[in-house]
Amino acid sequence: MDLNFNKNEDHNKLLLSELRQKFAKVKLGGGEKRIEKLHAEGKMTARERIDYLLDENAKSIEIGAFAGKKMYTEHGGCPSGGVIVKIGYIKGKQCIVVANDATVKAGAWFPITAKKNLRAQEIAMENRLPIIYLVDSAGVYLPLQDEIFPDKEHFGRIFRNNAIMSSMGITQIAAVMGSCVAGGAYLPIMSDEALIVDKTGSIFLAGSYLVKAAIGESIDNETLGGATTHCEISGVTDYKAKDDKDALDKIKNIVDKIGDFDKAGYNRIKSEKPALNEKDIYGILPKARNEQYDMMEIINRLVDNSEFEAYKDGYGQSLITGYARIDGWAVGIVANQRKVVKTTKGEMQFGGVIYSDSADKATRFIANCNQKKIPLVFVQDVTGFMVGSKSEHGGIIKDGAKMVNAVSNSVVPKFTVVVGNSYGAGNYAMCGKAFDPRLIFAWPSAELAVMGGTQAAKVLAQIEASSLKGKGEIVDEAKEAELFAKIKARYDEQVSPYYAAAHLWTDAIIDPLETRTWISMGIEAANHSPIEKKFNLGVIQV
């Protein structure tokens, strides 16, 4: 191993260590004291509930662990968006589980909480996965009600999705394991089956204090909307559980009896590990985001037996396209080549840039994968499309549009891995969040922005310097350097993978060695949902 490899390895392992430390903190939710208080009430935490519900020793993946990071600081923060979402297995059946974290503002809904819940429902609808809700929430966080209540992507959309999923035949099971109040009371009742935990679970449109204020009736919460009331009087809930574990056991028994599903029929054979050492990824991936490297060295450590069948290998070389298997699943891979390549015409193509011929190749390859019903995996380390008169005259906009068109209209499931840069239109063409990947996740080395931090900071610093000069202020070299440093620091924070994860622009930040698991479980989920549309590019400029 050379010195550069060792430096890269040290850097990437340091990023991984930072990721683990941040995740350990996030897992505490509202903090140890609130966890202790929950335990004193005889309740499990949201994570404990999910861990008990999911099959022991089976794989699982968590969606949006860093949602809400550094957001709502003036309100005390909202770790993980106040809700835990995992895809895993219950009695061998793949499901998605959504659990309110009562240690975070009593499980109250912040705007990011609604966005994360809607993402969970989107995953369930796209893949026709059974969805389990573990409800323990005080309802909408009132100081931010205007940001969560009235819009299309806000709180009410969740109940609309409940109804849509029911019509689609997607199993929904809800367990009320704590508070379930006001509008939130509709979620469990719009599910197929609802459970409630005795003495700790309660469902009502208005609590006892509000009832007293509204109509003058004096009544306690248990009589108003407890387990006995809803299981024996109102008939709102279907099962009464004595405690959390009993409720979760009942869910396991219900899921265990769900019938088999229609399959999309994606090709899978026996899984093989990569022939090359997966851990080499840490040393191959450069420390600096502008350094060159051979993306094939990464791909060969992600795919089964390190076997890859390249498509149009000698054409459009700034993009790698080809067929492989990941955990036995057949996949089509579209990846940014990060090394400088020389074309047969003697021209140089820079790594991470999409050229006209590359975009043309990718469009054809995506069409082929749709024709053969092969899921697509996009591996992003992209700085954007090539610029300049030669590219413009050669029709880069037209060729880029064709690629975007193909990505947009693809009917096979798409999965996106952001390993490095994800800038500008390159993010779009390589199936960014706006283009409906079934799952999109990043490595700790990822950066997402309109352009790189240094370039953007230079542009913004120049604009600000001109503005100050226009006001008559003296802007010397020292002042320009100060402006640049200030803007660069702010921009660097925004291009961080944690910033993207906080806003749910990605589903997760993961250890590169977990990539195969994410893609495999993603395709397994997608296999629940047969393709109902035909691939059609629509009108494109040829």
Distance in angstroms (rounded) separating the CA atoms of residues 447 and 7: 20
Please state, in angstroms and rounded to a whole number, the distance separating the CA atoms of residues 69 and 501: 8
Helix or strand run (H / E) with residue 432: none
Q: How far, in Å, CA of 92 to CA of 527, rounded?
A: 15
DSSP E strands in 372-479: the ranges are: 376-382, 384-385, 414-423, 439-442, 447-449
| Position 396 confidence tier, pLDDT thresholds 50, 70, 90 | confident
Q: How many angstroms separate the CA atoms of 431 and 67, rounded?
A: 21
pLDDT exceeds cutoff 80 at 350 = no
pTM listed for this prediction: 0.94
User: Residue 393: is its pLDDT beyond 70?
Assistant: no
How many whole angstroms separate alpha carbon 71 and alpha carbon 77?
Answer: 6
Q: Is the pLDDT of residue 163 over 80?
A: yes
pLDDT at site 486: 80
At residue 211, the pLDDT reads: 82
* pLDDT tens string 8-36: 999 999 999 999 999 999 999 999 999 99
Confidence of residue 317 (pLDDT cuts 50, 70, 90): very high
At residue 170, does pLDDT exceed 80?
A: yes
Contacts of 536 (CB under 8 A, 6+ apart): 409
Percent pLDDT > 70 in the chain is 97
Band of the pLDDT at 183, cuts 50, 70, 90? low
Residue 221 has pLDDT above 70, yes or no: yes
Residue 87 one-letter amino acid: I
Q: How far apart are CA 303 and CA 282, in angstroms?
A: 16
Helix, coil or strand: residue 286: coil
In this structure, what DSSP letter does residue 268 have?
Answer: B
CA distance 24 to 22: 5
The 10s digit of each residue's pLDDT in 224-269 is 889 999 999 999 999 999 999 999 999 999 999 999 999 999 999 9
Angle separating helix axes 111-127 and 156-168, nearest 10 degrees:
10
